């Protein structure tokens, strides 16, 4: 008989992680890159390609409006996808949902690249396009929460910001990839571009999908989920338990991105409209400026994430919203100089410093606030509803305010108001950067 082992039993935090933190971080990165690659690619195609090939029978203006409306469908369906995949992620596990959401998202994007046009199959062309967008919206809703959890739950305490930022870096990475590929095929003659050129970036999404699936298949279920599964402690109805046991963080996280979201869509979406229709400058100036800003954000995000591991999530997030509020007027002052370098600087500062400081934290910030039993549902629901409330209408509201007032002052005040909401939420939310989340 072996001798008894003496000494204290290992604590939960001393138990080994089930996946290498770097691999878990990369799994989130590739999924989020594909998500935002699709987002920017579909948005550009909805403005440049789909009105002509899928909605041609409606006329140029109406066709463009309807095409852009299909782009907005994803915002409405993302909270639904967050609830559905969050429920099963908390009930069945994180890994399986991550494989499903990534597969749905990549497959629907790839199929858009193969889709026949209205001229070929009539009304079924726009119907199928909208169906693919519905699938994308649902998949997007479940993808982000799962990616956040797989990275954060496989990171050691004190380094969750460092490893959780990988998925958030997928936002500027997806933007750079989609914009770069679309710009390359846009150099083709019109006949080639509209017949097959526009399809190439959609078909190349299969590469990202293959890499993402490969990385995720090698993952094991997180130790956090394994523990509640072994203890038979899974929530029966996660959404109900979420509001019963974690209503405060759910509400605060539903509004905490108000300022950063408004500013983000001002910099990345409305800036092109403002530059071309108000300042009457070449569209290429704005598009190049956004690419420079995205590259800047890709570099600065890890810095802010590592800083949040050292001083906390709250001070870094408060820095972000304070900077964005203070920058709301100077952004337009720089842009209104109508000079290329200052326009690019205005976007680089807005994304690379202001938004980056908040965006870098969203993975750990959302995942750390919820207990394991409802973590997938809580992170997905709060994040996606926040995107729908503050992100979806931001560019439209900015355009309407300038049209109604004839000045950018109202838009700056709009940004400042959003940042005030974010600051209040950041002050009220629990600091979690040193919290043990392995309960």
Does domain 17-237 fall under CATH 1.20.1250.20? My reply is yes
3-state secondary structure the chain: CCCCCCCCCCCHHHCCCCCCHHHHHHHHHHHHHHHHHHHHHHHHHHHHCHHHHCCHHHCHHHHHHHHHHHHHHHHHHHHHHHHHHHHHHHHHCHHHHHHHHHHHHHHHHHHHHHCCCHHHHCCHHHHHHHHHHHHHHHHHHHHHHHHHHHHHCCCCCCCHHHHHHHHHHHHHHHHHHHHHHHHHHCCCCHHHHHHHHCHHHHHCHHHHHHHHHHHHHCCCCCHHHHHHHHCCCCCCCHHHHHHHHCHHHHHHHHHCCHHHHHHHHHHHHHHHHHHHHHCCCCHHHHHHHHHHHHHHHHHHHHHHHHHHHHHCHHHHHHHHHHHHHHHHHHHHHHHCCCCHHHHHHHHHHHHHHHHHHHHCCHHHHHHCCCCHHHHHHHHHHHHHHHHHHHHCCHHHHHHHHHHHHCCCHHHHHHHHHHHHHHHHHHHHCCCCCCCCCCC
pLDDT at 60: 62
**pLDDT at residue 61, as a whole number:** 63
Give the mean pLDDT of 30-51: 81
CATH number attached to the domain at 247-369+393-431:
1.20.1250
What are the structural domain ranges in the chain?
A: 17-237, 247-369+393-431
pLDDT tens, residue by residue, 222-281: 888 888 888 878 888 999 999 999 999 999 999 999 999 999 988 887 887 788 878 888
pLDDT of residue 350: 96
Equal fold, 17-237 vs 247-369+393-431: yes
Give the pLDDT of residue 7. Answer: 38
Least confident of 373-382, 387-396, 421-430: 387-396
pLDDT at 178 over 80: yes
Kindly tell me if the per-residue pLDDT of 9 is higher than 50: no
pLDDT tier for residue 427 given thresholds of 50, 70 and 90: very high
Tell me the whole-structure pTM to 2 decimals.
0.87
Which tops the pLDDT comparison, 354 or 182? 354
Per-residue pLDDT at 194 exceeds 90: no
Confidence of residue 16 (pLDDT cuts 50, 70, 90): low
């Amino acid at each position: 008989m072996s001798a008894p082992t003496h000494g204290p039993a290992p604590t939960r935090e001393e138990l080994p992680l089930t996946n290498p933190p770097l691999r878990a971080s990369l799994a989130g990165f590739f999924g989020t890159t594909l998500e935002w690659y699709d987002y920017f690619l579909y948005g550009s195609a909805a403005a440049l390609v789909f009105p002509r090939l899928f909605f041609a029978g409606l006329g140029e203006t109406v066709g463009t409006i309807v095409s852009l409306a299909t782009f907005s469908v994803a915002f409405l369906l993302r909270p639904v996808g967050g609830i559905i995949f969050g429920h099963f992620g908390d009930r069945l596990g994180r890994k399986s949902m991550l494989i499903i959401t990534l597969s749905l998202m990549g497959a629907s994007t790839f199929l858009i690249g193969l889709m026949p046009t209205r001229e070929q199959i009539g009304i079924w062309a726009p119907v199928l396009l909208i169906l693919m967008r519905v699938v994308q919206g649902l998949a997007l809703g479940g993808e982000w929460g799962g990616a956040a959890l797989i990275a954060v739950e496989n990171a050691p305490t004190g380094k969750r910001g460092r490893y959780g930022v990988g998925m958030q870096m997928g936002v500027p990475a997806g933007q750079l990839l989609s914009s770069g590929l679309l710009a390359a095929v846009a150099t083709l003659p019109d006949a080639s571009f509209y017949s097959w050129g526009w399809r190439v970036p959609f078909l190349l999404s299969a590469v990202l999908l293959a890499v993402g699936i490969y990385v995720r298949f090698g993952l094991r279920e997180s130790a956090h989920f394994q523990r509640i599964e072994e203890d038979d402690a899974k929530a029966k109805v996660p959404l109900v338990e979420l509001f019963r046991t974690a209503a405060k963080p759910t509400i605060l996280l539903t509004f905490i991105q108000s300022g950063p979201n408004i500013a983000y869509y001002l910099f990345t979406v409305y800036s092109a409209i403002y530059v071309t229709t108000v300042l009457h400058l070449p569209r290429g100036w704005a598009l190049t400026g956004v690419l420079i800003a995205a590259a800047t954000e890709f570099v600065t995000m890890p810095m802010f994430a590592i800083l949040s591991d050292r001083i906390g999530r709250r001070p870094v997030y408060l820095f972000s919203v304070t900077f964005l509020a203070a920058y709301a007027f100077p952004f337009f002052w720089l842009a209104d100089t109508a000079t290329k370098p200052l326009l690019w600087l205005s976007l680089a500062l807005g994304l690379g410093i202001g938004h980056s400081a908040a965006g870098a934290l969203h993975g750990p910030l959302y995942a750390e606030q919820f207990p394991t039993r409802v973590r997938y549902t809580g992170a997905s629901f709060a994040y996606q509803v926040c995107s729908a409330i503050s992100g979806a209408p931001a560019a439209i509201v900015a355009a309407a305010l300038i049209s109604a007032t004839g000045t950018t002052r109202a838009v700056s005040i709009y940004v400042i108001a959003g940042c005030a909401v974010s600051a209040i939420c950041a002050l009220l939310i629990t600091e979690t950067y040193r919290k043990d989340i392995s309960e």
